[in-house]
Structure 1
């Protein structure tokens, strides 16, 4: 009987080499990956940077993940695990819409703080068990409503879309002039508001009506309003 060859992997810098034995747990690897993503986004998460953060060799990372895509998916799921834990700790109520609202807000708050999550949430549920379980938790509230399977699928998709889409938009990199403090948020929005006010009111009647609301709007309040519109439509559909 021959001797089984030790696994080999390709280094990020050159030809295949022997895989370095892991010296950390998957939990430690993913926690470090999430830390890098929180600090500087997906571009900062390289195998070399992660190995440096862990104080190990690049090869040891391959004991846990085969590629950066897998690392991003698993790091996302690791972060979503915090949302899932919070959702599972919430006491259920008599109103599934209210329970759904609480779950949606919990997910929104995490993605606003970690905007990189939006791009990878439920991207690969083969490895994102926490994400799939959270999706299931949202869907179980639909099972409490008088809806068809298609209506339930569309309803969950709409809620997730409002949450993830809005949170991703709010978490986008702000303009440089906001980052460096050249202007504050009110001044930045006010600049656009002044431009809108100068438009012909006969051609832009809606813009003229809402321009003051735009100039002083609160982002979280705007998200909650969008969520309420979605949930109100869902309630009407279930009661029809």
Structure 2
């Protein structure tokens, strides 16, 4: 329900959806630092006061914007037919969430932060939780399972969405060359002190981020399968 800040209520000149669309556009273009009420008001062609009709401050605006972009994802997850294997259904939902967050790194910091104004995120959490319930785990195990899945998806997507180094942005070096140079630096370390880095340096070069994410997700799901006693 639209809300105003303290003081006399001003007449809103925009809809909540328009305000959120504008906020998301600013976030997608330049990140959280670009989203100010002044910049948003200028984009919408109205006054700052009209934005306060809908949100109490920037935190709520960010929370609502994060939830706003989850609407199509939630629809896709709701339309996804259930299979006989709940772990396969959890995996499918996790992959869709990962793709959404990877495209919008700012989303990671506000996903499920305030469920009172984030109905889409809360419903998504519920749907994945219902698949976990089919594993017949205890409430504690179920809570930990959903937390592990969402934590891994959000955290990995945010990590992979980090800003590339300046030299990559400038075109001075491409991704493969950058990874190879890093791997060479690892190989130059004393093998006795860094045996793991030496062991995986070849895999690091040219690795596929999506493949890396799916491998990690499958490790979590394999643990859940074992905990649930499913072969």
Fold match, TM over 0.5?
A: yes
Aligned pairs (5 A) from 1:1-240: 19-239=9-229
Deviation at residue 146 of structure 1 after TM alignment = 2.2
Deviation at residue 206 of structure 1 after TM alignment = 2.2
Moved over 3 A (4+): 7-10
Supply the distance in 2 between the matched residues of 1:82 and 1:214 (Cα, whole angstroms): 34
8 Å contact kept, 2:37–2:58:
yes
8 Å contact kept, 2:4–2:53:
no
**Equivalences, count:** 228
Deviation at residue 159 of structure 1 after TM alignment = 0.3
Deviation at residue 191 of structure 1 after TM alignment = 1.2
Deviation at residue 19 of structure 1 after TM alignment = 4.8
Supply the distance in 2 between the matched residues of 1:8 and 1:219 (Cα, whole angstroms): 44
TM-score normalised to the size of structure 2? 0.94
For the aligned residues, what is the CA RMSD?
A: 1.6
* 1:13 corresponding residue in structure 2: none
Gaps of 5+ in 2: none
Supply the distance in 2 between the matched residues of 1:147 and 1:114 (Cα, whole angstroms): 33
Describe the SS at the equivalent of 1:239.
coil
8 Å contact kept, 2:4–2:54:
no
Gaps of 5+ in 1: 1-6, 11-15
Supply the distance in 1 between the matched residues of 2:119 and 2:44 (Cα, whole angstroms): 25
8 Å contact kept, 1:19–1:62:
no
Deviation at residue 185 of structure 1 after TM alignment = 0.6
Supply the distance in 2 between the matched residues of 1:8 and 1:235 (Cα, whole angstroms): 48
> Deviation string for 1:20-70 (max 9, x for gaps)?
411211111111111111111111111111111111111111111110011
Supply the distance in 2 between the matched residues of 1:90 and 1:156 (Cα, whole angstroms): 18
Supply the distance in 1 between the matched residues of 2:130 and 2:34 (Cα, whole angstroms): 37
Deviation at residue 202 of structure 1 after TM alignment = 3.1
